[in-house]
Chains A and B, each alone.
Chain A
Amino acid sequence: MTIIFKPSPSLPPPVTSVGAVAWVRQNLFSSPLNIFLTFFSAYVIYLLLPPVIQWAFIDATWEGTSKASCTAGGACWAFIAVYFDQFMYGLYPEAETWRINLAVIMLVLMVGAFAIKAVNKLYLSIAIIVVYPIVAYFLFAGGVFGLEKVETSLWGGLFLTVLLGVIGIVASFPLGIVLALGRRSEMPIAKSVCVVFIETIRAVPLITILFMASVMIPLFLPEGLNFNKLLRVLIGITLFSAAYMAEVVRGGLQAIPKGQYEAADAMGLTYWQSMILVILPQALKLVIPGIVNSFIALFKDTTLVYIVGMFDFLGRIQAANHDSNWLGTTVEGYAFAGFIYWAICFGMSRYSMALERKLETGHKRN
């Protein structure tokens, strides 16, 4: 008779080292300080969260025509509902707002078409960059094809904010690249022109540039020649943003090893060919986070146009706060504006992270 050694089955790990209990012990109660911090944080959350939920949802009023209808004691979202169109379109004539909607739908469809394989990407890009802005401009401004003319002073709300943001981003990106290349160039005059421009703009706040655009530009133009305030502000925002973009791109250019420049030269590529085909694709990929950060900064900075008297999204909220029917709804207005700005900026930063992962070609050491 042989005796076979039979090990008894392993005991399960102690409850304190696996599962929820272990997690709580490790992450919340690992030391006296941690225990204190956990209770402190829990107390902070208890102080903040329930009152906010109570105010924003449970006690909130969603419908009504004036502050008087908000009797529940919570948030008065009826204010947002009543003013919604103004927050979105500013003073754009109500009968014409379909034009803005149409332009937005067109843009969404065209950008969405990039996902379709059968579409020619080159034609689509040309359509978006060249054709679309012209179509959108005539849609917004009117005055042709029987469309009613709408002055730019009536443009406002989120529409104006997005318009400033998108045009600023689209225009400042190529300008920033050119400035960065100029700053890295070996031509002394071109280099110093770029350095002076970039450093001057970066040294002053955007407000001074906007004041310059709205007050000083008319002084520098010949008598009689004057252009639209919206355009002047747009130029200011674009130049401002381009200087920051240039510095971001320069960082990427500096990170590309010299061998890449030399290899491109050795292949017989011209300056622009080597930049466009070899250097920039690598450099820009490296600085995607920085580029998106400056886009986000630009989008947030568009709020400053309110200071020079344009009623963007935040400006319309400020204006609505003065309505005597709705006194005392400032918090609701700011909460709504804050949420929209937050959603757009946070969305952009998440998208940049996804883009970074997608373009990752595995040169990173793990």
Chain B
Amino acid sequence: MSENTNPSNNSLLNDAGTRAMIFQIVLLAMVVFAGYYLFSNLQANLDNRGISTGFAFFNEPAGFPILIHLIEYTEANTYGRAFVVALINTFVISLLGIILSTVIGIVMGLARLSKNWLVARLATVYIETLRNIPLLLQMFFWYFAVLAALPAPRDSYEFADFLLNKRGIYSPNPITQDGFGLVIFGFFLSIAAAVGLIIWAKKRQTRTGLWFPAYWSSLGLIVGITFLFLAIAGFPIEFDLPQKSRFNVTGGMVLPPEFVAVLVALSTYTGAFIAEIVRAGILSVNWGQTEAARSLGLRDNLTQRLIVLPQALRVIIPPLTSQYLNLAKNSSLGAAIAYPELVAVVMGTTLNQTGQAIETIGLCMLVYGSLSLSISVFMNWYNNKMSLVER
């Protein structure tokens, strides 16, 4: 053991552990002091302005209309109810956006890998264009340039029973009649039958090695049994068709332009990013895997489904999760074109009317935080399920 000849090197200040401790204590003190300073300022400011903190305003009538509400809502309802309406709107647009963007992303990602030169070029142009233009600009484009340029209700475009004009997309509204419960019962029955069939097919395959086209036949079961029950109940659905009148459209279901613009912009934009993720995932699977599958005699589509895709998914899922999170957070841009989602209703109108900045902004952050958290928990669970099981 060598002895340290320089006594100053042995001082406490040169000990790594002590220095780390000192640094951390200083850091903690700074954070605590900053927190205390900001908080005391906040209280002084709120007192000066006469703003009372708390969520009492949630029980007061809101007094503003919300264009899109999936649950009952009028101006006489409370701020609390308005918050729930906005929350539902955010969830709906995020969920639909995630589904649509995944479809677009998979199609475009595969198209970019296509052996067909023209298809691959078109997909590349799509991806490189949409990825490099701000989402807000794309939303404005869809809302102010495309949807606003559609004809007035009386000159709507018509496709079958659908109408398209500047007020939105109108579709027939299904209204259930007596006896629809029977159909719902039939639907669940068919799903149970399909699940049973898949389990049976899997067991039989493990036992005998014989393969049964379980997925197609279960799809057939679901459609067939549901239709059968529809027929038995005497087709208990009537459609409320949209009717054009001079200045408006009556009846039917309507997708307002705000909703369409946000959904289209969100899903095409995120779809471009997902396409790149899908492409990278598929390229990451070693070519040897494909060759091995072929030498085992698997056909092309089976090679893709059983060999390439499961391995590609492992690479795809983590970045896909962050794209889904981005989409959910980006749905807040809908506020800029008056889609009544969380930011527009709570941080926009409610904040303006009540002045409760801390509560409204904090609430929004909390909601987005938990939304992000739940998406990432779900995707982590799925990722664990799909990930490589090693010995």
A243 interfacial by beta-carbon distance below 8 Å: no
**How near does chain A come to B111, taking the closest CB pair, in angstroms?**
9
Distance in Å: Cβ of A311 to nearest Cβ of chain B: 13
Also in contact, A204 and B136, with CB within 8 A (given A219-B358, A307-B336): no
A42 contacts the other chain (CB 8 A): yes
Residues of chain B lying within 8 A (CB to CB) of residue A331: 141, 145, 149
Chain A interface residue count, Cβ-Cβ cutoff 8 angstroms: 54
Closest Cβ neighbor of B48 among chain A residues: A223
Tell whether B42 is near chain A: CB-to-CB under 8 Å.
yes
Contacts of A321 in B (CB 8 A): 144
Q: Which residues from chain A contact B343 at a C-beta distance below 8 Å?
A: 205, 207-208, 211
Contacts of A6-53 to chain B: CB distance below 8 A: 27-28, 30, 34, 37-38, 41-42, 44-45
Q: Does A267 contact B (CB under 8 A)?
A: no
Interface residues in A218-245 (C-beta closer than 8 Å to B): 218-223
Check if B129 sits within 8 Å of A342, measured CB to CB: yes
Contact (Cβ within 8 A) B332 A341: no
Q: Is the CB of B136 within 8 A of A37?
A: no
CA distance A297 to B320 in the complex (A): 17
Contacts of A296 in B (CB 8 A): 132
Interface residues of A in 200-223 (CB under 8 A from B): 200, 202-208, 211-212, 215-216, 218-223
Are the C-beta atoms of A216 and B140 separated by less than 8 Å?
no
Which size class do B's interface residues fall under? 35 or more
A47 to chain B, nearest CB (A): 12
Kindly state whether residue A99 has any CB partner on chain B within 8 Å. Answer: no
Q: How far is the CA of A44 from the CA of B111 in the complex (A)?
A: 14
At the interface, yes or no: B354 with Cβ under 8 Å from chain A? no
Stretch at the interface among A81-89, A134-142, A143-151, A187-195: A187-195
Are A215 and B118 interface neighbours, CB within 8 A? Answer: no
Given contacts A219-B42, A306-B336, A314-B137, whether A203 and B132 have CB atoms under 8 Å apart is no
Q: Please determine whether A216 and B122 come into contact, CB atoms closer than 8 angstroms.
A: no
Q: How far is the CB of A21 from chain B (nearest CB, A)?
A: 14
Given A300-B134, A314-B140, A341-B134, A27–B117 Cβ distance below 8 Å?
yes
Within 8 A of B (CB), among A292-326: 296, 300-301, 303-304, 306-307, 314, 318, 321
Say yes or no: is B368 at the interface (Cβ < 8 Å to chain A): yes
Q: A204-B365, A207-B332 are in contact. Are A42 and B45 (CB under 8 A)?
A: no
How many Å lie between the Cα of A193 and that of B364 in the bound state?
22
CB distance from B261 to the nearest CB of A (A): 13
Q: 13 pairs across A/B with beta carbons < 8 Å?
A: A187-B24, A189-B28, A193-B31, A200-B365, A207-B332, A208-B332, A208-B365, A220-B45, A318-B140, A334-B140, A338-B133, A338-B141, A341-B134
12 further interface pairs, Cβ-Cβ under 8 Å (given A203-B372, A300-B134): A193-B27, A200-B369, A205-B330, A207-B333, A207-B335, A208-B361, A211-B361, A216-B358, A216-B361, A296-B132, A314-B137, A330-B144
